[in-house]
Chain A
Amino acid sequence: MRANVWSGRNTVQVENVPDPKILNERDAIVKITSTAICGSDLHLYDGYIPTMKKGDILGHEFMGEVVETGKGVSNLKEGDRVVVPFPIACGNCWACRHELFSVCENSNPNSGLAEKMFGHSTCGIFGYSHLTGGYAGGQAEYARVPFADVGPIKVEDDLTDEQVLFLSDIFPTGYMGAEFCEITGGECIAVFGAGPVGQFAIASAVMLGAERVIAIDHVDYRLEMARNKAGATDTINFDEDPDVVEQLKVLTGGRGPDAVIDAVGMESVSGHAPLQAIERVKQASRQETDRGAALRDAILACRPGGIVSVIGVYGGLMDKFPMGALMNKGLSIKTGQCHVHRYMKPLYEHVKQGHIDPSFVVTHRLDLGEAPNGFETFKHKQDECVKVVLKP
């Protein structure tokens, strides 16, 4: 089959590889009909996540048709149309029983590597380095789905691929980011990053009842999407004025947002050129793995007693973390890779009821063979790119 593989920093290529086979009884094989490039794939592409290996198939946002099931999978059958959640979770361990699927205790066969890095292992993830298991990803014609009796959700309604594909990651991830904010109605929420996850965080905050949602980015067309499609009430472009904290204060009458969402992660950009330069050098020379401009601003901007919700992906260590602001203002920080399994069914219902049409983020539709172009276009934000969907 054809698959998009990582072959070094800033390089992916579409290659012929063997078709996947069932390796365990709870596996299924899915023939992929739609698959997407995620912002977090760019961290791999840019070479900031360790333990990548030449030839690794990328991709953790995919859906398709079940073509084979192992003996232990009785809830799916050949021909079922499914969306696959990006975390691989067993459904049996203590974490899964408590709906903490992204920290499943059993799905990472490289748990020893993860323990060295994070103290504990986290779940396996499709196509996302060997630290999260070394699983082949979904930017391919077929994928093997472990624990298929727990993860995939069946799509039985007349919805297009693009309407349900993002249940695999970015919609639940954005939603969890908004849910962390404990919105009860009337809040001001600031969302750092108007990429695909940021768009869904904004849309979810609106859905949950926030009164004012402020999007922060430095790419105008993304801020426009945030305003016109996701429902942001205000936007800040930090290229125009780098003092995001002050602008947020003004927009919230001096109070600061009730909660802030970091939908940026480890490769954030600062509007302050000298700070940006220092952090880029530190990251490139591996003195820190995580650049932190967005998270720092988020913490400084958040109102005392507020909530800092971190759904952007970080990989290791960050310098100059404003612990003093976090502590003295009495902020709570909530974070995590999304427990996608927890949100798939309820969010599927929202899509079915027409409360939201997640396809609004799609700007590029390419053949799988064009994946390398897709990565470049997405990375450099060319051609007003927000989200790339690949068709195998």
Chain B
Amino acid sequence: MGSRTAITVNRPEDEIRRMWQDPAFRPEYIGEVDAAVTFRDAPGDRGTEIHVALPREAPRNKLGEVVQKVAGSASLAKVKDELYRFKQLVETGEVARSEGSPEGERAERKLKQRPAQPLKESELEKAGV
């Protein structure tokens, strides 16, 4: 289960499929790593489930296994970020930003939060505002 994740987005499947291809929404990283993406109508009129399975290459040795474990988990975190950002963009039109996480949901930010106070001018551009 370590290389699979899923999210539900509150829109019909045809719309989700279209937006998934739209450059304004398309998650880049998920495309790059060649993950298997499937869409499924969510029960009870809840929109669409997006399932992502990361490709898994057989590790050549024990070291490779360890490397894959570390790198693999990192990329799954990135996939989760992208799915969440996609959901936010589709449902709300924007990616939620806080003062602690001004770029929006980012795995790298989880352990390196800014204090929750307004950004300085110099930080705004860096955060992509």
Q: How large is the interface on A (under 10, 10 to 19, 20 to 34, 35 or more residues)?
A: 35 or more
Residues of A with C-beta under 8 A to B80? 112
Contact assessment for A106 and B115 in the assembled complex, using a CB-CB cutoff below 8 Å: no
> In which size bucket is the chain B interface?
35 or more
Complex Cα spacing A109 to B101, Å: 6
- Identify which of residues 84-120 in chain A touch chain B, using a CB-to-CB cut-off of 8 Å: 88, 90-94, 97, 105-113
Q: Which DSSP category, helix, strand, loop or mixed, fits chain B's interface?
A: loop
Among A25, A90, A135, contact of B98 (Cβ-Cβ < 8 Å): A135
A23 contacts B by Cβ under 8 Å: yes
Q: For the complex, would chain A's binding face be called helix, strand, loop or mixed by DSSP majority?
A: loop
Q: Is A3 a contact of B117 with CB atoms below 8 Å?
A: yes
> Do A92 and B92 touch across chains, with their CB atoms under 8 A apart?
yes
Answer whether A21 and B113 are a contact pair too, CB < 8 Å, given A94-B10, A110-B98, A112-B107: no
Chain A proximity of B89: nearest CB distance (Å): 10
A25 to B93 CA separation, bound complex (whole angstroms): 9
Q: Given A93-B91, A112-B105, does the pair A106, B96 have CB atoms closer than 8 Å?
A: yes
Asked if B12 is an interface residue, CB under 8 A from chain A, the answer is no
**Could you say which of A51-59, A222-230, A275-283 contacts chain B?**
A51-59
Q: Give bound CA distance, A106 to B47, whole Å.
A: 15
Q: Which of B20-28, B29-37, B60-68, B118-126 contacts A (4 or more CB under 8 A)?
A: B118-126
Kindly state whether residue A374 has any CB partner on chain B within 8 Å.
no
Contact of A53 among B8, B97, B110, B116 (CB under 8 A): B116
Interface string of A266-278 (1 = CB under 8 A from B): 0000000000000
A336 at interface by CB-CB < 8 Å: no
> Residue-by-residue, is B52-73 near A (CB-CB < 8 Å gives 1, otherwise 0)?
0000000000000000000000
Closest to B106 in A: A109
CB-nearest residue of chain B to A133: B98
Q: Which residues of A contact B119 (CB under 8 A)?
A: 18, 21, 23
Nearest first, the 3 A-B pairs at minimum CB distance are: A134-B100, A55-B115, A109-B101
